[in-house]
């Protein structure tokens, strides 16, 4: 089972000599992504502009999902697939159409033929015979109501509807995958920006400590208790920290720009990252994750693709069978002497019903070619599903290995930072009492900087591993919980 194992902060670094070799209790410093400064110190360093956007990691994900073009395209694909299901279903339902036509004759071939009046005895019954026929009539109204129903189509209609349903299910799974992938990208970009800002804070704080130490050495040198070598060493040590400040500041700016790109925030608008607290330490069981990986939407989409290809074979084979259609028509015609629509009694009825059979006896091997192509596409879909499953299994093993390594590194780096802080305290005290040189203080400060950087990187690696595992579970396992 997934059982969280939470370690609580217990205080700051060791301040007594007899604590030098003791093990720290729990987390010696707050579990924060910066590992150095709190959110308040970050805000105090740079005054916040009025147009600054305060954004948490949850806000960033929600904004990205709402504004992303990729998500909009995936959502449109789902709507398109749903419409195809409707179209495939409509082909199996009755089709009812109606039409009304009015025809005004300008000149006809019957204009020069005189059949005589209906009671003309000279022409016999000729006038009565053609009196009610539509030949040469100036006004004609025709109305039709047609009904058509497919009775048998060789299984093509059912196969088409099955294809549409599988395509819709595949589109829905791909939409979920797009959401999960974008969520992972935004989370990692956000946490990378936080980590980059934290590294910059470490560099700035390290330079401030070096500057304060230089002032101390200058006062000792003026008092004659520090040598010129110590003074030069302190000045060089301070100057050597400037490139790190510039580099980390540039890296932090680039990381924030990447986050803005994913979230669709204007590049010139300042933002303040409010999520600073990292996740709790948890124990993961690979046996819990493995079944969740098997239920990934990506695998579901691959399975739906296989089923869709199977249904396509059935649709092509159905073309070898005859199709039977039942049709009916209710026709009405009227021939008034003027353009005024006729009354009910003036309409003449033409009603009929028909049963039609259509059978393609020879298609020039077209159907055989379509079936062969569908079978090849089915084999390809099965191979892609197997390849995806193997890739997810490898990704799960790699993510679990990264998680275990990152978790072990956090515990080790935490203890290393405590010892480095204590070593710097001792070096400062020895130098102030004239028992060591500036070189020893510089080395201790450098070791502390490395320990802090390593811990930031270890925590970021741990969070990245959790994010990857959460992504592999298809979002069903919530591992990253931020305040």
| pLDDT at residue number 288 | 78
- Which range of 410-424, 435-449, 459-473 scores highest in mean pLDDT? It is 459-473
Dist CA 419 CA 425 (whole Å):
10
pLDDT band at 259 (very low <50, low <70, confident <90, very high): very high
**Rounded to the nearest 5°, which phi and psi values hold at 168?**
-65, -45
What does the pLDDT average to over 315-320? 91
CA pair distance 139, 105, nearest whole angstrom: 6
Whether residue 385 has pLDDT greater than 90:
yes
- What integer is the mean pLDDT of 186-203? 88
Q: What is the mean pLDDT of the chain?
A: 80
Cβ atoms 436, 423 nearer than 8 A: no
Q: Given a cut of 80, is residue 120 above it in pLDDT?
A: no
- pLDDT at residue 370 in the model: 92
For the chain, the 3-state helix, strand and coil shares in percent, each to the nearest 5, are: 60, 15, 30
- Residue 131 pLDDT > 50: yes
Q: Does the pLDDT of residue 314 top 80, yes or no?
A: yes
| Non-local CB neighbours of 372 within 8 Å, separated by 6+ positions | none
H-helix or E-strand containing 242? helix 242-263
Residue 271's DSSP bridge partners are 53
Q: What is the mean pLDDT of residues 321-327?
A: 94
Query: What number is the average pLDDT over the span 217-225?
Result: 82
pLDDT for residue 195: 86
Residue count (the chain): 483
- Mean pLDDT of the 456-482 span: 80
- The whole-angstrom separation of Cα 197 and Cα 42 is 9
Q: Say which range, 19-28, 59-68, 92-101, 173-182, has the weakest mean pLDDT.
A: 19-28
Q: What is the pLDDT of residue 210?
A: 83
Q: What is the pLDDT of residues 439-462, one digit of tens each?
A: 787 788 888 888 888 888 888 888
Kindly tell me if the per-residue pLDDT of 152 is higher than 80: yes
What is the distance between the alpha carbons of residues 59 and 183, in angstroms, rounded to a whole number? Answer: 11
pLDDT band at 166 (very low <50, low <70, confident <90, very high): very high
pLDDT confidence of 48, banded at 50, 70, 90?
Answer: low
């Amino acid at each position: 089972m997934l059982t969280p194992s939470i370690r609580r902060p217990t205080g700051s670094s060791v301040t007594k000599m007899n604590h030098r070799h003791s093990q720290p209790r729990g987390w010696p410093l707050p579990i924060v992504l910066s590992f150095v400064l709190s959110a308040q110190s970050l805000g105090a360093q740079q005054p916040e502009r009025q147009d600054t956007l305060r954004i948490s990691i949850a806000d960033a994900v929600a904004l990205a999902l709402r504004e992303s073009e990729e998500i909009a395209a995936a959502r449109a694909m789902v709507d398109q697939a749903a419409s195809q299901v409707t179209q495939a279903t409509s082909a199996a339902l009755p089709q009812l159409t109606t039409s009304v036509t009015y025809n005004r004759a300008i000149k006809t071939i019957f204009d020069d033929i005189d059949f005589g009046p209906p009671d003309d005895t000279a022409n016999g019954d000729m006038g009565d015979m053609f009196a009610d026929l539509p030949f040469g009539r100036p006004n004609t109204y025709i109305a039709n109501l047609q009904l058509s129903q497919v009775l048998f189509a060789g299984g093509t209609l059912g196969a088409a509807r099955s294809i549409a349903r599988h395509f819709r299910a595949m589109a829905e799974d791909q939409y979920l995958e797009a959401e999960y992938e974008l969520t992972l990208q935004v989370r990692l970009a956000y946490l990378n920006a936080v980590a980059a800002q934290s590294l910059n804070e470490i560099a700035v704080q390290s330079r401030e400590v070096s500057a304060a130490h230089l002032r101390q050495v200058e006062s000792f040198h003026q008092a004659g208790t520090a040598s010129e070598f110590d003074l030069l060493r302190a000045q060089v040590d301070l100057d050597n920290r400037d490139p790190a400040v510039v580099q980390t500041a540039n890296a932090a700016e680039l990381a924030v720009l990447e986050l803005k790109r994913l979230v669709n925030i204007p590049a010139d608008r300042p933002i303040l990252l409010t999520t600073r607290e990292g996740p709790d330490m948890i124990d993961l069981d690979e046996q819990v994750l493995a079944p969740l990986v098997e239920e990934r939407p990506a695998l579901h989409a691959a399975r739906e693709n296989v089923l869709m290809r199977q249904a396509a074979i059935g649709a092509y084979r159905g073309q070898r069978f005859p199709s039977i259609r039942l049709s009916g028509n209710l026709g009405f015609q009227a021939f008034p002497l003027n353009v005024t629509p006729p009354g009910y009694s003036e309409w003449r009825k033409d009603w009929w019903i028909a049963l039609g059979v259509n059978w393609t006896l020879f298609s020039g091997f077209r159907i055989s070619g379509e079936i062969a192509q569908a079978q090849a596409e089915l084999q390809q879909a099965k191979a892609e599903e197997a390849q995806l499953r193997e890739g997810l299994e490898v990704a799960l093993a790699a993510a679990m290995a990264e998680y275990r390594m990152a978790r072990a590194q956090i515990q080790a780096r935490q203890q290393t930072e405590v010892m480095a802080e204590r070593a710097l305290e001792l070096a400062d005290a020895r130098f102030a009492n004239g028992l060591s040189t500036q070189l020893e203080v510089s080395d201790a400060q450098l070791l502390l900087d490395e320990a802090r950087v390593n811990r930031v990187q270890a925590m970021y690696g741990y969070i990245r591993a959790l994010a990857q595992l959460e992504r592999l579970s298809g979002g069903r396992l919530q591992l990253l919980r931020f305040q």
